[in-house]
Amino acid sequence: MLENGYYWRNREIREHVAVIDGTVKPDFVLANGTYLNTYTKQWLKGNIWILNDRIVYVGDKLPENQSAKIIDCKGSYLVPGYMEPHAHPFQLYNPVSLAKYAADFGTTTLINDNLVWNFLMDKKKAVTLLRAFNKLPVSMFWWARFDSQTALQNEEEFFNTEEVLSWLEHSSVVQGGELTAWPSLLRGDDRLLYWIQEAKRMGKPVEGHLPGASEKTLTKMKLLGVSADHESITGEEVIRRLRLGYQVGLRYSSIRPDLPKLLEEIMDAGIDTYDNMMMTTDGATPAFYEKGLMNICIEIAIEKGVPLPDAYRMASHNVAQHYGMTEQLGTIAPGRLANINILDAKENPHPVSVLAKGKWIKRDYEVQQSTVDFEWEKYDIAPLEVDWELSKSDLQFSVPIGLELMNNVIIKPYPIETDVTLDVIPNTNNDAFLLLVDRKGKWRINTAIKGFTNNLGAMVSSYSTTGDFVCIGKSKPDMILAWQRVKEHGGGIVLAHQGEIIFELPLRLGGSMFDGDMSALIDKEKGLKDLLKDFGYPFADPIYTILFLSATHLPYIRVTQQGILDVKKREVLFPAIMR
């Protein structure tokens, strides 16, 4: 006797076949359109029959049943729903709000980072959450992280063989990585190598994180099992990876908008095949997505002269092929999910209408559902409950080494020369207090940061790599004021200046994510950026600056749960202090 799941799936497939036989009527037919066949890279005229969430027929015929609903697509061009192969769905937004917003612009599949789930919930609860995501019209898949990309006090609790393999075995998890701990792998970390081998044994690729890697390092990483990498910042680096057999992600993100330059340089070098390339926005911050996700990447590719079929394939078929999902996604063919974008011209990747799993996300430019309700509280994703107070005694600074921002995310050490025993640092320099404090109130790290602000009283954020509190500012009283407001919100980003709250962004979902739609969040983020710029922030992306203060995959010094860390030496210079 077949198990219920198999029986249900068999019955569904038999029903698809019955549509072809004429004994079952399709839900509707997209007729008379021109669709992109991504297998042959041809634009073909045809009719597409859809039943429930699937494409059941693509070709010249119409159903024999005269009552079948026909949607005339004459003059329109149909392409597969776009796929984002490398999403970080926690950059202030949450996975549901990002997916909804992305789909409005034609990106109907996201391959997502699972890092935050490791910190916010246990694996059992995460599995039920992933199951709930699968009920959404947008197709959502996940990575299995192998490391925290920071220095935790209890790394083994989150990243151990049992936890990592249980993630890898989940049907919604389609890759291992991204591998920010690759230096440990090169140094002989055999447990990490075992996890990579297990991912490959399951048929799941492993995503690298190899910025600036030499040919020798890339070769070693290929031998060790890394399948793909998205860290190229020059055309030469793209070509080097392609020649070694990597699947290469071309990045267009808020801190690395490299795609136009990469395409120009690889085309100048004579590269005219794109089958092993994808495009990614790599977790851009909200305002960068104001006009969409992969539709923007495809537009850039078309403008740079990539042949139209390849431009669309780089955001659909190529992605699905890399993840072994072309029988399900990335193409317009029988048996695939009905994720289809309808365009008014081949050269215009911004869809008039969007189908996801056979449901209209957008039709004739009109978004069909403005918001998506999701019961986060069912999965214990709720406002932070903080049962401790930040006090003046926590704001004692004596460490001689601080962090100096060189750009959005690169930080160098510097000797602290300003008087950090004062309650307020004068505005005559760019130094500010920097405090990282445990979300449970057990430990703290006190230092200084140069180059973030020259006069802001305080910014406090529960949004960070690990969900701990980041406090930056010139004024200790303002830091306490802003922290109290973050606590009242149950998480968020708050700015205080001269005894007044001047900005607040509640992040009520685990202290990390905004519980609202993307348009409202985009406006909020723009306001935050403008304020920080007024208070001396000199770079483009303060959200990534906050996030990566603890990120040990970047040079040169970081503030982590263990303390102030020299990244290259993996040495704690000044340890965390117990409160």
Average pLDDT (120-124) is 89
What single-letter DSSP state applies at residue 495?
A: E
Q: What are phi and psi of 2, to 5 degrees?
A: -70, 145
pLDDT at 4 (0 to 100) = 54
Nearest one of 437, 447, 435, 436 to 386, comparing CA atoms: 437
Average pLDDT (474-487) is 98
CB 492 within 8 A of CB 474: no
Instruction: Say yes or no to pLDDT of 255 above 50.
Output: yes
Q: Give the C-alpha separation, 227 to 432, whole Å.
A: 42
What single-letter DSSP state applies at residue 513?
A: B
pLDDT in tens, 2-14: 455 567 789 999 9
Average pLDDT (266-290) is 98
pLDDT at 537 (0 to 100) = 98
Average pLDDT (281-288) is 98
pLDDT in tens, 142-153: 999 999 999 999
Q: How confident is the model at residue 370 (pLDDT cuts 50, 70, 90)?
A: confident
Instruction: Say yes or no to pLDDT of 371 above 90.
Output: no
User: 75 — alpha (psi -120 to 50), left (phi > 0) or beta?
Assistant: left
pLDDT in tens, 199-241: 999 999 999 999 999 999 999 999 999 999 999 999 999 999 9
What single-letter DSSP state applies at residue 554?
A: S
What single-letter DSSP state applies at residue 475?
A: B
CB 90 within 8 A of CB 114: no
Average pLDDT (467-477) is 98
Instruction: Say yes or no to pLDDT of 1 above 50.
Output: no
Q: Give the C-alpha separation, 180 to 199, whole Å.
A: 16
Q: What are phi and psi of 332, to 5 degrees?
A: -105, 100
pLDDT in tens, 521-559: 999 999 999 999 999 999 999 999 999 999 999 999 999
Residues above pLDDT 90, as percent of the chain: 96
Mean of the per-residue pLDDT values of the chain:
96
Average pLDDT (158-165) is 96
- For residue 47, give both structure tokens: 């009719």
pLDDT at 66 (0 to 100) = 80
pLDDT in tens, 426-442: 999 999 999 999 999 99
pLDDT in tens, 44-75: 999 999 999 999 999 999 998 888 999 999 99
pLDDT in tens, 85-121: 999 999 999 999 999 999 999 999 999 999 999 999 9
pLDDT at 443 (0 to 100) = 98
Least confident of 121-125, 259-263, 378-382, 450-454: 121-125
